[in-house]
Amino acid sequence: MAWTRVTGMRIALVVAVALAAARFGGCSYLELADARSVDYRLLQRGARAGSSDVVIVAVDDASLETYGRWPWRRSVVARLLDAITAAGAAVVGFDMVQSERTTAGGSEGLPERIDGVDEATWSIVRRELMRRPDDDQVLAAAVRQSGRVVLGYFFDFARQAQPGPVLEVSTFNLVQRGGNGRGGERRLPKAESATVNLPELRAAARDVGYFNFLPDDLDGLYRRVPLAVRFGDEIAVPLSLAMLRTYRPEQPLAIKFAEFGVESVRLGSVSIPVAEDGQMLINFRGPGKAFKYIAAADVLAGRFDPAALQGKLVLVGVTATAVADVRATPFDGVLPGVEIHANVLDNVLRQDFVQQPKWIVLVEIAAILLVTAMLGAVLQHARGVIGSLVAVGLAAAYLVSSQWLFEAHGLPLSLLYPLLAIGLTYTAIVVQHYAVAERGRRQIRNAFEMYLTPAVARLVSQKPEMLSLGGETRELTVLFSDVRGFTTISEQLQDQPQALTALLNEFLGAMTDVIFAHGGTLDKYVGDEIMALWGAPVPQPDHAARACQAALDMIARLAVLNQQWTQRGWPALDIGVGINSGPMVVGNMGSRRRLSYTVIGDNVNLGARLEGLNKLYGSHIVASESTIAASGGLVVRELDLVRVKGKLQGVRIYEVLGAAAERVRWQPLITRFESGLRAYREQRWQEAAAAFSAVLEERPGDGPARLYLGRARAMVESPPPPDWDGVTVMEVK
């Protein structure tokens, strides 16, 4: 006991030290899991409505249908800006870049002559085109007149990128540097080139900001936004911050550096939490459409309430399918980039950030040490259910408290490391206590697997969710087999119970081997009855053919066994097989303590009833019409059209006689039998009796022919009523 206690405490200590080192060390896989734990907290919190102060004017699919494909003429964009400005928007941010000149309006790009057009005509057309205002100038004028526009541009961070257009120093001189750690600027993302707006647009704009987001290197999700980027010797800010400093011009934007990196980012009195590389964790409001959207086409057409834009921070961006800049975020795999800017704006306006304090790592280390020490101490004295409850309770308490800290104070305490500490400590300590018990459980599992086909066992190992309750409707084939007169055989061997058991086991084993050989799934044994199915859990397009061939091989295998049993002095066995195909519900059914992979439904019941018809018809294998239609190629003969109990419609049934290769042997008998059956249904009783007699002369033991011969002779003596339809009604199940 003392050794166990010491080992348990040592395990707890080793786990704590290892995880504390991993937390400081920065393993990429653990960092990814830890990042996703923050995603989990966001999802647990749920979606929240975005601020009403932020509105998105979207160039959506409907807008493209009205005004044509993107990009639009800049005169159209100018009209859009004029409408937004007229509505009283406080700031208008463009999540797009106008970097290339257009040829709409003005003389630029117009040739002196065009082949095929006479000089006089072209001169008139050219003068008219030259009178049109230049689209770039039209947009620049709209931007200048608005006086509240922040233009977006984008950086290229690839080292081999081609240099972009030269940017004015004034573009980036709006950030106040602070602190003594000039070297800390090296921690900022460094851009190699930029794609910017036309000079006249930049000169007319109130401010500019980049619209880049940097994906997480570990999984490609967008969780953060860089609030500062190095470009040459200057520092640039994102579109969202540029809009905010335009919105609140009295509040300067200041970035303070230390030797380790960024120490703080402030917009006036608002301190924005960032990591050392200047990136802010985004407190996403939810999936797409968390903010108010207005279609650009509606703004252009005046189909909107101007009050919806009055005094608002308005983002203009493209959200149309195939041309939108979409990003994968914790909430949404295809969130338009413009809405990420909206989330950043909303975070700063509401000041409900996801915090990133430097001391949070120390709190997480303390949590790791605390939970491992507590669990190690408890497991010295409590095992089994109590130990498990303590471990689960610790984990639940940490989950609840960390979620509360996240939602109330924006503190993203690590879920991964403390929970991993609980799991590893608990697992390592209890494994020695349960080693012997696990060996026993393994023996039970091995015994249980004897009742499953390899396919089922393989599928269950790959997809353990199959063991949960539930089912699905699938097209399957079910087979029922029953020993005729087994009660009599049991009475014959009642004084030899071992012989009876050996006979039954040998029979069931041989029949099961045949079923498995044809890919079937053993459903159950009920005494001497066998139930099997095809098409589940592994789909089999030829499930009907497999079942029929298995039935033929079962009959053939039983003939060999009967010879061996006769030599031992055991009685011979005879079986009847019923097969039906159709939609059935298949799955694990029962309780969590005892499950059975089985099928249920009307088609299953019909299969069982078809097996019972073998006694009546003197046949061995009775199959439904649906099975025969799906199997194809087998040698069969139609037996009857029967209406079983509980069914209104008649079911056409067949006897399976052999494989396709045996058709020549069976064809003469089938032809005679079918002629007799046809005469019988047409009430030509004498002709039918003669045909069935001919079948019996060829095959004296033919059960179906003997049955129909008796029926035909009975009909001669007592004809059926006028409404007789030839359907045999089965009153018993």
| Cβ neighbours of 164 (radius 10 Å) | 18
Pair type for strands 326-327 and 91-94: unpaired
Q: Is residue 445 part of a domain?
A: no
State phi, psi for 730 to the nearest 5 degrees: -100, 115
Looking at the fold, whether 323 and 346 belong to one and the same domain comes out as yes
pLDDT at 6: 47
Q: Is residue 114 part of a domain?
A: no
> What residue type is 593 in one-letter code?
R
Following CA atoms 464, 465, 470, 473 in sequence, which dihedral angle do they give, to the nearest 10 degrees? -90
Looking at the fold, whether 602 and 711 belong to one and the same domain comes out as no
The CATH number for 650's domain is 3.30.70.1230
Looking at the fold, whether 602 and 688 belong to one and the same domain comes out as no
Residue 658 CA to residue 631 CA, distance in Å, equals 12
Q: pTM to 2 decimals?
A: 0.55
Contacts of 518 (CB under 8 A, 6+ apart): 534, 546, 547, 549, 550, 553
> What residue type is 392 in one-letter code?
V
Looking at the fold, whether 563 and 531 belong to one and the same domain comes out as yes
Looking at the fold, whether 493 and 631 belong to one and the same domain comes out as yes
Contacts of 171 (CB under 8 A, 6+ apart): 196, 202, 208, 234, 236
Cα end-to-end distance, the chain, whole Å: 64
Q: Is residue 204 part of a domain?
A: yes
Comparing C-alpha atoms, which of 730, 483, 486 is closest to residue 609?
730
Looking at the fold, whether 223 and 299 belong to one and the same domain comes out as yes
Q: Are 583 and 606 in contact (CB under 8 A)?
A: no
Number of structural domains (the chain) is 4
Task: Please name the residue that has the structure tokens 């033919």.
Answer: 702
| Cβ neighbours of 621 (radius 10 Å) | 27
Q: What is the extent of the structural domain holding 492?
A: 470-658
Residue 709 CA to residue 116 CA, distance in Å, equals 96
Looking at the fold, whether 487 and 593 belong to one and the same domain comes out as yes
Looking at the fold, whether 596 and 579 belong to one and the same domain comes out as yes
**Of 658, 679, 699, which closes a domain?**
658
Looking at the fold, whether 336 and 378 belong to one and the same domain comes out as no
pLDDT at 447: 34
How many Å is the Cα radius of gyration of the chain?
A: 41
Comparing C-alpha atoms, which of 627, 721, 618, 600 is closest to residue 673?
618
**Of 605, 632, 658, which closes a domain?**
658
Looking at the fold, whether 7 and 95 belong to one and the same domain comes out as no
Looking at the fold, whether 210 and 246 belong to one and the same domain comes out as yes
Q: Are 48 and 284 in contact (CB under 8 A)?
A: no
**Of 628, 658, 688, which closes a domain?**
658
pLDDT at 347: 92
pLDDT at 483: 92
Residue 63 CA to residue 299 CA, distance in Å, equals 10
Looking at the fold, whether 252 and 176 belong to one and the same domain comes out as yes
Comparing C-alpha atoms, which of 580, 578, 576 is closest to residue 535?
580
Q: Is residue 444 part of a domain?
A: no
Q: Are 551 and 577 in contact (CB under 8 A)?
A: yes
In the structure encoding, which two tokens stand for residue 716, read together?
Answer: 């001669």
Q: Is residue 396 part of a domain?
A: yes
Q: Is residue 523 part of a domain?
A: yes
- What HEC string does 3-37 produce? HHHHHHHHHHHHHHHHHHHHHHHCCHHHHHHHHHH
Q: Is residue 442 part of a domain?
A: no
Q: Is residue 133 part of a domain?
A: no
Please, what are the averages of pLDDT over each run of 10 residues along the chain (733 residues)? 52 74 70 80 86 93 92 92 94 93 58 63 59 80 94 84 47 52 77 90 93 85 89 89 91 84 87 89 90 94 94 94 87 90 93 84 82 78 77 86 85 82 77 54 44 57 53 92 87 82 91 92 89 89 94 94 91 93 87 77 92 92 93 90 79 92 91 92 90 91 91 88 84 58
